[in-house]
Amino acid sequence: MTETRVRFLDLRAQYAGLRADIRRAVDAVFESQAFVLGPAVAAFEEALGRYLGAAHVVGVASGTDALYLALRACGVGPGDAVLTTPYSFAASATQIARTGARPYFGDIERDSFNLDVAGVRRWLVDECRREGGTLRAPDGEVVRAIVPVHLFGRPCAIAALTALAAEYGLAVVEDAAQAIGARAGGDGPYAGTVGRYGCFSFYPTKNLGGAGDGGCVVAASAADAGRVRSLARHGAAGGPYRHVELGIASRLDALQAAVLGVKLAHVDAWNAARRRHAERYEHLLAEVLGSPAVVAAPALVPGHVFHQYVVRVPERDRVRAALAAAGIETQVYYPIPLHLQPCFTALGYRTGDRPEAERAAAESLALPIYPELDDDAARAVVEALARALDRHRA
Ligand X SMILES: Cc1ncc(COP(=O)(O)O)c(C=O)c1O
Q: Which of 378, 373, 375 is nearest to 285 (CA)?
A: 378
84 binding ligand X? (CB under 6 A): no
Nearer to ligand X, 196 or 382 (CB): 196
- Please identify which residue in 108, 146, 177, 259 interacts with ligand X, judged by CB under 6 A: 177
Least distance in Å: CB of 356 to ligand X?
Answer: 17
89 binding ligand X? (CB under 6 A): yes
Quote the CA–CA distance of 201 and 243 in Å, as a whole number: 27
113 binding ligand X? (CB under 6 A): no
Size of the site for ligand X (CB under 6 A): 15
Q: Could you tell me which stretch among 175-183, 241-249, 269-277, 283-291 binds ligand X (CB under 6 A)?
A: 175-183
Distances (CA, A) of 73 to 99, 112, 126, 290, 371: 10, 29, 28, 50, 35
174 binding ligand X? (CB under 6 A): no
Query: Interaction with ligand X in 38-77: which residues (CB under 6 A)?
Result: 62-64
Nearer to ligand X, 177 or 385 (CB): 177
Residue nearest to ligand X (CB): 63
Least distance in Å: CB of 139 to ligand X?
Answer: 25
Least distance in Å: CB of 334 to ligand X?
Answer: 10
Q: Could you tell me which stretch among 88-96, 154-162, 259-267, 318-326 binds ligand X (CB under 6 A)?
A: 88-96
Quote the CA–CA distance of 127 and 245 in Å, as a whole number: 33
Quote the CA–CA distance of 107 and 124 in Å, as a whole number: 13
Per-residue contact flags (x/-) with ligand X for residues 118 to 157, judged by CB under 6 A: -------------------------------x--------
Sign of CA dihedral 169, 175, 181, 185: negative
Nearer to ligand X, 250 or 295 (CB): 250
Nearer to ligand X, 93 or 323 (CB): 93
Residue 219 · residue 211 · CB < 8 Å = no
- Tell me how far apart the 2 most distant CA atoms of the chain are, in Å: 73
Helices (H) and strands (E) in the chain, counts: 12, 11
Q: Give CA angle at 292 (281, 316), nearest 5°.
A: 65
201 binding ligand X? (CB under 6 A): yes
Q: What is the DSSP string of 32-87?
A: HT--BSHHHHHHHHHHHHHHHT-SEEEEES-HHHHHHHHHHHTT--TTEEEEE-SS
Least distance in Å: CB of 202 to ligand X?
Answer: 7
Residue 64 · residue 216 · CB < 8 Å = no
Nearer to ligand X, 217 or 289 (CB): 217
175 binding ligand X? (CB under 6 A): yes
178 binding ligand X? (CB under 6 A): yes
361 binding ligand X? (CB under 6 A): no
Q: Which residue type occupies 159?
A: A
Least distance in Å: CB of 61 to ligand X?
Answer: 8
Strands 197-201 vs 171-175: parallel, antiparallel or unpaired: parallel
Contacts (Cβ under 8 Å, ≥6 apart) of 259? 22, 25, 26, 210, 211
Nearer to ligand X, 63 or 181 (CB): 63
Quote the CA–CA distance of 45 and 38 in Å, as a whole number: 11
91 binding ligand X? (CB under 6 A): yes
Quote the CA–CA distance of 385 and 309 in Å, as a whole number: 14
364 binding ligand X? (CB under 6 A): no
* Binding region for ligand X (CB under 6 A): 62-64, 88-89, 91-92, 149, 175, 177-178, 201, 203, 213, 215
